[in-house]
Structure 1
Amino acid sequence: MRIEQLHEEFGAEISGINLIDAVSNADAFAAVRAAFEEHSLLVWRDQPISDDIQATFSRGFGPLELVKVGSVGHGTFYSRMNNIGPDGQVVPLRDMAMIVARANQLWHTDSSFKRLPALASVLSARVIPEQGGETEFTSTRAAWERLDAAEQSRLRDAVAIHSYATSRNKIDPGMMTPEEHAALPPVRRRLTWRNPVNGRCALYLASHAGAIEGMAPQEGAALLESLVARATEPGHTYVHAWRPGDVIMWDNRATMHRGRPWGGTLPRSIVRTTISASLADGLEDVLPELWAQRAAA
């Protein structure tokens, strides 16, 4: 297995081992898992990808999330993000698939708004336009480490409110259905998530976060916006230009990402599987209720 650094702060391309080998051999899996903990973002090129291969690889890291209500693939393990209709043709720009694509162009970390947040996401390229549609990533671990000691002390135990409606309302207040609103109430998350393997801390941010407990609404929203802007300053992001067969895995505890526009007139299809976090992944650190129990123990 070869590891090539993609950005000075995070990210690595893996070669010399495919996805199935990575989880079918104990030594290979240990090496991949160590690379994941160290680099937060892993890229494989030229993979013979399928739904089954992607799910098998993803399950090596933990239980898979079911796709939420209101999304294509609801009730399965596969979140299908594409602009290809049932007839095989590209959908109109006003189609919900394109509205969702616009929302995904906000900086976010997957599933921060769910009752159980995500450890990691695995995204595979199935149909890719020749230009546009890149995915941009940033390290919120590096962003945390760039803060001075006083800022870290002030933010370490702050609690943010995450809600799917917060990000969707930025695009279209009518985007969510009543069923989605009922299924996805706001949740509380600490503003930091400590990695239990290496002890490194990361800001836990997303466009889904809209308020901070104990702060006036405008003040909390402004602080969150400022932290996202600082985390994503030029020079601190990696932009991935997709090719068919690419697979990317990222750590939702320590990164943010966003899609980039591609116009929507050319076909594009990508498939995501999402791995739920567990106590072994430091889950108690980001859930205020569990963290308080641990602190009192």
Structure 2
Amino acid sequence: MRIEPLTCSIGAELSGINLADAIGDDGLFAEIRQLLVEHKVLFLRDQNFSRAEHVAFAERFGELEDHPVAGSDPDHPGLVRIYKSPDQPADRYENAWHTDATWREAPPFGCVLRCIECPPVGGDTMWVDMVKAYEMLPAHVKQQIEGLRARHSIEASFGAAMPIDKRLALKEQFPDAEHPVVRTHPDTGEKILFVNAFTTHFTNFHTRERVRFGQDANPGGADLLRYLISQAMIPEYQVRWRWQPHSVAIWDNRSTQHYAVMDYPACHRKMERAGIVGDKPY
């Protein structure tokens, strides 16, 4: 196996291996898992395995989860199909910087995403190192956010365009989750800036230490949250991957955010993702 780091902060391309071999090879799988924790995102080309093998490899990390809005392959539960087609509107909404499913009480551990079909150019995906994003915050901001907690909502994101009855039913099924603004990586002990596009507001900002008068509460908390979310946009923390059919990305969802770049014309873009159940952030 050859390992080529793609940036100084995040991402490495692996070559000379087939992921399907790691289904039954404990040593190979252990090496891949360690590299994932170290580099946060792993990329591979020419991984021409079956859907069953895709699921079997991802299940080595843990149990898989379905998505309540995106559809799964009917024959392979847990394999979510992210399919775009030419008949969708030209102004179709694609993405924002996010960590998958932080609206869950226990967001995913990570994901294994494979490209089935993609535009000849465009449609890249970017990832950002949120360990680095926390590390580089000014000291006074780190002090300000220590102990802060925030809400994450599926209702305000996937549910926003739904009719009100369906939106409220979705929220009833998945009530807003509350997570620390700075979580700790369970494998490395690193601190991670843990706010993203699913984050709506702080839940314990309005205290005597932070707010002089009630007038401070909303702008103070909202401005700070916008600033923290904006850290994902810093290029020095990012890596960008150009897709080809049978390319694969494996990412640690605990320490990264990602963004599917919406720069291609209406065409087919077919991706299949296995999301792995995670643990409650602390």
Shift in Å at residue 175 of structure 1? 9.0
Residue type at the aligned position of 1:245: H
* Compared CA separation, residues 29 and 176, structure 1 to 2 (3 A): farther
- Equivalent-residue separation in structure 1 for 2:42 and 2:164 (angstroms): 32
Give the 3-state SS of the residue equivalent to 1:114 in structure 2. Answer: coil
- Equivalent-residue separation in structure 2 for 1:147 and 1:175 (angstroms): 39
Residue of structure 2 in register with 1:295 after alignment: none
Q: TM-score by structure 2 length?
A: 0.87
* Compared CA separation, residues 264 and 177, structure 1 to 2 (3 A): farther
Shift in Å at residue 266 of structure 1? 1.4
Larger mean CA deviation between 216-225 and 39-48 belongs to 216-225
Shift in Å at residue 50 of structure 1? 2.7
Deviations 1:30-58 (A, max 9, x none): 21111011111011111013321211111
- Equivalent-residue separation in structure 2 for 1:26 and 1:92 (angstroms): 43
Deviations 1:121-160 (A, max 9, x none): 1111001111211111110011011023332233232111
Asked if 2 retains the 8 angstrom alpha-carbon contact of 1:193 and 1:254, the reply is no
Give the 3-state SS of the residue equivalent to 1:266 in structure 2. Answer: coil
Q: TM-score by structure 1 length?
A: 0.83
Residue of structure 2 in register with 1:209 after alignment: 199
Give the 3-state SS of the residue equivalent to 2:226 in structure 1. Answer: helix
Deviations 1:205-260 (A, max 9, x none): 22000100123344333222211212321332211111111110111111111111
1:93 counterpart (66, 83, 89): 89
Deviations 1:151-207 (A, max 9, x none): 22332321110001233477x475993332332221101112212322211111220
Asked if 2 retains the 8 angstrom alpha-carbon contact of 1:66 and 1:74, the reply is no
Asked if 2 retains the 8 angstrom alpha-carbon contact of 1:93 and 1:264, the reply is no
Give the 3-state SS of the residue equivalent to 2:47 in structure 1. Answer: coil
Give the 3-state SS of the residue equivalent to 1:177 in structure 2. Answer: helix
Residue type at the aligned position of 1:31: E
How many residue pairs get aligned? The number is 268
Residue of structure 2 in register with 1:177 after alignment: 166
Task: Kindly report which structure 2 residues correspond to 1:1-297, keeping only aligned pairs within 5 A, or say none.
Answer: 1-68=1-68, 70-73=69-72, 76-84=77-85, 90-93=86-89, 99=92, 102=93, 104-168=94-158, 172=161, 174=163, 177-178=166-167, 179-215=169-205, 216-278=217-279, 283=280, 286-287=281-282
Aligned CA RMSD, in angstroms, stands at: 2.3
The answer to which structure has the higher helix fraction is: 1
Asked if 2 retains the 8 angstrom alpha-carbon contact of 1:40 and 1:254, the reply is yes
- Equivalent-residue separation in structure 1 for 2:22 and 2:182 (angstroms): 30
Asked if 2 retains the 8 angstrom alpha-carbon contact of 1:123 and 1:248, the reply is yes
Q: Percent identity?
A: 28
